[in-house]
Amino acid sequence: MNQAHWHLLLNHAPILGSLFGLVLLLLAVALRLQPVLLRTGLVTLIVAALLTIPTQLTGDGAEEVVEDQPGVSEPLIHEHEEAAELSLWAMEATGALAVVSLLLLSRGHRQSGRVTYLTLAGAVASFGLMARTGYLGGQIMHPEARSTFVAPAGEAHEDDD
């Protein structure tokens, strides 16, 4: 397996992990900080933050594999890289907040609620940035995902029969 394979294998984990952690935290808050959901959401965000690291590290190798392929655009790769770097920092900060929140919760600290809400805000930002990064990455090898895509003329569609 080359770096592109690894990148494709890993890149969904931070996106879906940040979404799943966000949903669990939202449920925990809606249910008045239900402890099991809260801890599960925080751990999920920590795992997503950890999986973001190898995803980022395989990005350069993936670029090397695809950059000379027909239809691959250097500006799209650059935009994806910039979004990925911002997403990495947001996700790592969210993961760090989740660690602090878990520690404060386990010690019954009175500031644990505030840190948990801050972690929730980080999860919202992280998921949004991760989703945008994934969207931009998908455009690199999938021209049909680009806003400028136009289906070739004369293509037959099944529903045209």
Summarised one tens digit per residue, pLDDT across range 38-94 is 999 999 999 999 999 999 998 888 888 877 888 778 888 889 899 999 999 999 999
This prediction has a pTM of 0.84
CB atoms within 10 A of CB 118: 17
Residue owning tokens 């959401």: 41
CA–CA gap between residue 49 and residue 31 (Å, rounded): 25
Which two tokens mark 113? 């609620």
HSE toward the beta carbon, residue 13, CA cutoff 13 A: 18
Summarised one tens digit per residue, pLDDT across range 125-153 is 999 999 999 998 888 876 665 666 556 67
